[in-house]
Amino acid sequence: MRFNEKKFFELALANKFEAADVSFSHSKSTSCSIFHREVDSLTVSDSYSLTARGIYNGKFGTVAVSKIDKDTPQFLVDSIIRSASLVETNNPSIIYKGSEKYHKKNVFNKEVISSDINEKIELLKKIEDKIRAYDKRISEVATVGYDESFDESSLSNSYGLKLKSKMASYAFYAEVAAKEGDEVKTGFKVFVSLDPKEFDMDKFAEEVAKDAINKLGGTQCKSKKYPTVLKPNCVSALLRAYLSNLDAEEVQKQSSLFIGKLHQPVASKKLTVIENNLEKNVFYSYYDDEGVAMNKKFLIKKGNLETYIYTLETAAKDGVEPTGNGVVGAKVKAGLGCIYVKPGKKSFNEMISPIKEGVYITELEGLHAGMNAKSGNFSLQAQGFMIRDGKLAEPLSLITVAGNLVEVFNSIKEIANDVSLEMSQTSSPSILIKKLAISGK
């Protein structure tokens, strides 16, 4: 059933809405996974959802549906009136007339979704064989899977703004177990891309196998503070938690670590972080959920905080321009997009060579429980390797790393030049922290 947008806007204006908007998203996906060379799961989907908002008597009302029929426009209007009538806060309610310039690029590649799923299943079998053949300590390939999806979305409002985007992407993932004696370790890897030619099966199989095998023989180090090197994925986990404090709403409501820190140092001078959603990758996006254009911008420049991230509402409160970070849910929040940490000059090996005794952290677990981004305190399960006399030594497992985000980012000793090419929302090299508390035995 097609949604009658025109009718919704007509009804909204007839009911004295100041303005209204509708965002629509539609996804189609196919995914499959194999276990012991047999397809054990295959999923196809075709789904949509629609969120409508309106300003009624100066207040926002919001409603979301995935049930669309001829009565939907009226239902949305009634529901917005109901919800707006209950709102008591006097926050600025704004529906956006549009940015001057949008950086729209075509990232849609139809080759991704026109592929034959049976070919992919054969490929998954080959990947499983390669993983098993890589090392005899690979005891199980828990899953090898493939996922492709087509997503299209649009945002339109009663001012006549209409923004559209579409994308097709695919992912391969695998989870394996390696065993030696009674010890079991697991490895996991995901590869995501917009371009079918980018997937390298041999490299993927090798990396997932290694991820498990390298953890075997892990011991616990002595509990104390060590110079600590963080792998890019671990930098990402800590940095994204730290930067969640950039949300201007949290600053305005006195619950951010960055209160009063605009244009002040919040990290070591070595750290520069840029936000940019305009690269052609799976995270590409040129407008936010409120319709504000996205732009490349500095978040942290040589340790100084360059900007908070804003929604239309929080930007109006601070008297600044919105930053293209709006995420519409029950309420609009500011969310962090793709971030890039500026690499340093030294290679990974050069960076670790002066470390007599240190720890290299390759994985952090338990972020949803052991990380308090508001206080900055964290205490997380970790895995990694000892660094002895400037070289990687024995693997470490079941250790914890604890600290405070403010301290960590102010005590960066070195940033390497080994930017990971893996697709993730954070692009970063490895980083050496002067000292972090590691607990083991």
Partner 1 sequence: MLSKKQAIEVLNAALKTGGDYAEIFIQETHSSSYSIENGKVEAVTDTVGLGAGIRILKELQSVYGYTNDVSKNGLLALANSLSASYSGKQTLFIDNLKVKKVKNIHPHLRPHAEVDPKEIIAYLKKGEEAMRISPKIVRTKSGLSHYNQYNTLINSKGFIFKDEKERGRAVLMCVAIDGEKIETGHNAPGASAGFEFFEQNVDIVKLGKETATSALTMLEAKECPSGKMPVVIGNGFGGVIFHEACGHGLEASAVSKNLSVFAGKLGTQVASKLVTAYDDGTIVNAWGSNNIDDEGNKTQKTVLIENGILKSYLIDDFNGRRMGMKGNGACRRESYKFEPTSRMSNTFIANGTSTPEEIIKATKLGLYAKSLNGGSVNPATGEFNFGCSEAYIIRDGKICEPVRGASLIGSGAEILKHIDMVGNDLERAQGMCGASSGSIPTDVGQPTIRVDEILVGGNGGELK
Restricted to residues 321-350, the positions that interact with partner 1 (CB under 8 A) are 330-331
* b/e per residue 161-170 (b: at least 16 CB within 10 A): bebebebbbb
Question: Is there binding between residue 46 and partner 1 (CB under 8 A)?
Answer: yes
Q: How far is residue 340's CA from residue 362's CA, in Å, rounded to a whole number?
A: 19
Contacting partner 1 within 402-421 (CB under 8 A): 402-404
To partner 1, the closest distance from the beta carbon of 19 in angstroms equals 17
Q: How many residues bind partner 1 (CB under 8 A)?
A: 73
Question: Is there binding between residue 40 and partner 1 (CB under 8 A)?
Answer: yes
Q: Encoding tokens for residue 262?
A: 């605009």
Q: Which residues contact 88 (CB under 8 A, 6 or more apart)?
A: none
User: Which one, 201 or 437, has the nearer CB to partner 1?
Assistant: 437
Contacting partner 1 within 256-275 (CB under 8 A): 257
Q: Which of 366, 389, 391, 394 binds partner 1 (CB under 8 A)?
A: 366
Question: Is there binding between residue 62 and partner 1 (CB under 8 A)?
Answer: yes
* b/e per residue 323-344 (b: at least 16 CB within 10 A): bbbbbbeeebbbbbbbbbbbbb
Q: Which of 374, 388, 393, 394 binds partner 1 (CB under 8 A)?
A: 374
Question: Is there binding between residue 134 and partner 1 (CB under 8 A)?
Answer: no
The sign of the torsion formed by the CA atoms of 414, 415, 417, 423 equals positive
Contacting partner 1 within 84-103 (CB under 8 A): 86-89, 91
To partner 1, the closest distance from the beta carbon of 394 in angstroms equals 18
Q: Which residues contact 132 (CB under 8 A, 6 or more apart)?
A: 138, 141
User: Which one, 110 or 441, has the nearer CB to partner 1?
Assistant: 441
Q: Which of 13, 113, 177, 419 binds partner 1 (CB under 8 A)?
A: 177
Q: Which of 161, 316, 327, 437 binds partner 1 (CB under 8 A)?
A: 437
Question: Is there binding between residue 122 and partner 1 (CB under 8 A)?
Answer: no
User: CB–CB of 311/295 below 8 Å?
Assistant: no
To partner 1, the closest distance from the beta carbon of 310 in angstroms equals 18
Phi then psi for 226, rounded to 5 degrees?
-125, 150
Q: Which of 302, 344, 336 is nearest to 429 (CA)?
A: 344
Binding segment (CB under 8 A) for partner 1, from list 58-66, 125-133, 149-157, 333-341: 58-66
Give the number of other CB atoms < 10 A from CB of residue 115: 15
To partner 1, the closest distance from the beta carbon of 178 in angstroms equals 10
Q: How far is residue 234's CA from residue 177's CA, in Å, rounded to a whole number?
A: 22
The number of angstroms, rounded, from the C-alpha of 234 to the middle of its chain's C-alpha atoms is 13
**DSSP E strands, 206-313:** 224-230, 273-275, 297-301, 304-305
To partner 1, the closest distance from the beta carbon of 150 in angstroms equals 14
Tell me the per-residue interface mask from 1 to 20 with partner 1, x by CB under 8 A, - otherwise.
x-------------------
Question: Is there binding between residue 156 and partner 1 (CB under 8 A)?
Answer: no
Q: Which of 66, 160, 181, 421 binds partner 1 (CB under 8 A)?
A: 66
Query: CB burial class (10 A; 0-12, 13-18, 19+) of residue 305?
Result: buried
User: CB–CB of 160/96 below 8 Å?
Assistant: no
Q: Which of 18, 75, 161, 303 binds partner 1 (CB under 8 A)?
A: 75
Q: How far is residue 20's CA from residue 54's CA, in Å, rounded to a whole number?
A: 4
To partner 1, the closest distance from the beta carbon of 286 in angstroms equals 27
The sign of the torsion formed by the CA atoms of 284, 286, 291, 293 equals positive
Question: Is there binding between residue 42 and partner 1 (CB under 8 A)?
Answer: yes
Residue 431 pairs in a beta bridge with 230, 415
Quote the longest CA-to-CA distance of the chain: 75
Q: Which of 63, 112, 292, 361 binds partner 1 (CB under 8 A)?
A: 63
User: Which one, 220 or 347, has the nearer CB to partner 1?
Assistant: 220
User: Which one, 209 or 294, has the nearer CB to partner 1?
Assistant: 209
Contacting partner 1 within 191-250 (CB under 8 A): 220, 223
Binding segment (CB under 8 A) for partner 1, from list 296-304, 335-343, 344-352, 396-404: 396-404
User: Which one, 78 or 279, has the nearer CB to partner 1?
Assistant: 78
Single-letter code of the amino acid located at 10: E
Binding segment (CB under 8 A) for partner 1, from list 78-86, 264-272, 280-288, 302-310: 78-86
Q: How far is residue 57's CA from residue 158's CA, in Å, rounded to a whole number?
A: 16
Contacting partner 1 within 275-304 (CB under 8 A): none
